[in-house]
């Protein structure tokens, strides 16, 4: 009996560090969960969601593709997903931009034109017809970029349009379940409980297909 008692005591002593470690890990996880929850609660009311639907391309039109998104200009915060004549589902956003809406400088009145002369196949973005105060207030980024990389004063000359990276999206690390992960100790993919990221926010995910490609083909 004494021998078994000693074995139980020994086992208990060996398990105690592991128990304390698990207890600390559990306490830390609970604290982190509370912190993230409180942070999300604080963000409520400060998050804005925008949607832009692109027009059908000529290739899609030629292949008989139909838009499955309807936008009423009088309701700038809503779009209708219409996969069939009998099915219709509304989605609410802070603002919805339709296919006729443009982006960036063209939305402010910039014009794309072919060049003339020996470089007639080149394209230029003209903003020099816009008031300088508009360029300074609404388009400071592209004005600075054009000056640095193309040596162009956008108030006086057009910007050459060249192939480049569109833009980089995302960056929040996730696993394929869309759970946000972080580095903890030796684990580079430790899941943060209760926090998820998808679409353009995540580091490896497509955009919402229905919105980015609002078409259905026969």
Tell me: the pLDDT tens digits for 133-150?
888 877 787 888 888 888
Query: How confident is the model at residue 88, as a pLDDT?
Result: 85
Tally the domains of the chain.
2
Q: Which structural domain, as residue segments, surrounds residue 12?
A: 1-47
Report the residue count for the chain: 218
Query: How confident is the model at residue 153, as a pLDDT?
Result: 92
Query: How confident is the model at residue 145, as a pLDDT?
Result: 82
Integer Cα distance of 146 and 128 in angstroms: 12
Q: Which helix (H) or strand (E) holds 176?
A: none
**Has residue 86 been placed in a domain?**
no
Among 169, 179, 176, CA closest to 201: 169
Q: Which residue has the higher pLDDT, 78 or 206?
A: 78
**Has residue 85 been placed in a domain?**
no
Distance of CA 55 to the CA centre of its chain: 20
Query: How confident is the model at residue 99, as a pLDDT?
Result: 66
pTM: 0.33
How many Cβ atoms from other residues are within 10 Å of residue 75's Cβ? 12
CB-side neighbour CA atoms (13 Å) of 178? 9
Q: Which residue has the higher pLDDT, 140 or 112?
A: 140
Answer whether 127's CB lies under 8 Å from 134's CB.
no
In 44-121, alpha helices (H): 58-62, 104-107
**Has residue 134 been placed in a domain?**
yes
Integer Cα distance of 211 and 191 in angstroms: 29
């Amino acid at each position: 009996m004494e021998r078994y008692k000693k074995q139980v005591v020994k086992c208990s002593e060996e398990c105690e560090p592991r128990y304390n470690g698990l207890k600390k890990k559990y306490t830390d996880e609970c604290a982190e969960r509370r912190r993230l929850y409180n942070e999300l609660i604080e963000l409520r009311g400060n998050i804005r969601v925008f949607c832009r639907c692109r027009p059908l391309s000529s290739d899609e039109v030629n292949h008989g593709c139909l838009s499955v998104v309807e936008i009423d200009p009088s309701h700038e915060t809503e779009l209708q997903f219409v996969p069939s004549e009998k099915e219709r589902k509304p989605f609410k956003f802070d603002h919805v931009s339709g296919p006729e809406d443009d982006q960036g400088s063209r939305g402010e009145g910039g014009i794309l034109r072919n060049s003339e002369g020996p470089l007639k196949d080149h394209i230029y973005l003209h903003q020099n017809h816009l008031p300088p105060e508009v360029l300074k207030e609404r388009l400071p980024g592209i004005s600075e970029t054009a000056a640095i990389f193309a040596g162009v004063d956008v108030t006086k000359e057009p910007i050459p349009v060249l192939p480049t990276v569109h833009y980089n999206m995302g960056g929040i690390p996730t696993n394929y379940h869309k759970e946000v992960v972080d580095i903890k100790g030796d684990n580079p993919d430790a899941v943060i409980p209760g926090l998820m990221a998808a679409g353009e926010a995540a580091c490896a995910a497509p955009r919402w297909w229905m919105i980015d490609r609002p078409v259905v083909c026969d």
